[in-house]
Amino acid sequence: MPIAERYADPDLRLEVDSPVIAAQLAHRSVRQFLDTPVDDATLHAVVAAAQSASTSSNLQPWSVIAVRDPERKARLAALANHQQFINQAPLLLVWVADLDRAHRLAASAAAELTGADYLESTIVGVVDTALAAQNAVVAAESLGLGTVFVGAIRNQPRAVATELALPPHTFATFGLAVGTPDPQERSGIKPRLPQRAVLHRETYDATHADGVIADYDDRLAGYNERYGLPGNWSERVLARLANASSLNGRDRLRADLEYLGLPSV
């Protein structure tokens, strides 16, 4: 059952009957794709699902760029740590926190828009973009497609903005590779932290939550070993957040945001 795999606990059972939740529990990242195209009818359905996500104050401060051209995908892959699956996927969606639409509206109406310069507005743009993209993932998987997010799109945001001809006041938040999963790919449902680690009741209880980390490290290390991956969860977290260099260029993100017209004061 997906919930047993999701928590690497064979004794767990889903106590509610929901095909939607069952599908969500079965989610996995796909990094090998067949060359089957993703047609426009599918793209439109996925974007419609994305637009059905919640949005703060109905601002809808995001856009998405569908990239199919192999040469453009190759250039974006080079900017995103040379990840081969970007080239292999028939469709790359680049999700953009987009406050320029509001700026254009203000310019047309000769209206003030200094509120867009604040950190709150940047956060709203990024949060709404993420909510929409996650809806798109669920929709794509319901149609038999596989996906994987590409955070490395943020490694070189200025170059990505140039490649995609982004206007000012926008930021390419992440990519999403989409396509038909290659059945030859060796991967599974990666175990997550036990709910005790993330679900607090009434108040935050770090001692209670952290008591399951060692066991989770063992479970994830076992999963990783099966698929030829190194280490456990704690090691990965500490390596990923060790210092500025471990952020792969994203330590400069505040300066990049200001350059792109999102001062986030």
Question: Read out DSSP for 75-117?
Answer: HHHHHTTT-HHHHHSSEEEEEEEE-HHHHHHHHHHT---GGGG
Question: Is residue 10 in some structural domain?
Answer: no
Closest to 116 measured CA to CA, from 96, 130, 129, 99: 99
Helix (H, G, I), strand (E, B) or coil at 212: coil
Question: Is residue 125 in some structural domain?
Answer: yes
Q: Tell me what pLDDT residue 210 has.
A: 97
Question: Is residue 191 in some structural domain?
Answer: no
Question: Is residue 220 in some structural domain?
Answer: no
Q: How confident is the model at residue 241 (pLDDT cuts 50, 70, 90)?
A: very high
Question: Is residue 165 in some structural domain?
Answer: yes
Count of domains observed in the chain: 1
Question: Is residue 186 in some structural domain?
Answer: no
Question: Is residue 128 in some structural domain?
Answer: yes
Over residues 112-158, the pLDDT tens digits come to 999 999 999 999 999 999 999 999 999 999 999 999 999 999 999 99
Closest to 146 measured CA to CA, from 121, 172, 176, 168: 176
Q: How many CA atoms lie within 13 A of 175 on its CB side?
A: 28
Judge whether residue 24 has pLDDT over 80. Answer: yes
Judge whether residue 164 has pLDDT over 90. Answer: yes
DSSP annotation of 177 reads: E
Mean pLDDT along residues 196-225:
97
Question: Is residue 245 in some structural domain?
Answer: no
Answer for the pair 43, 66: CB distance below 8 angstroms, yes or no.
Answer: yes
Q: Residue 94 sits in a domain of what CATH number? A: 3.40.109.10
Task: For residue 91, give its domain range.
Answer: 29-181+257-265
Q: Tell me what pLDDT residue 1 has.
A: 63
CA angle (64 as vertex; 59, 68 as ends), nearest 5:
170
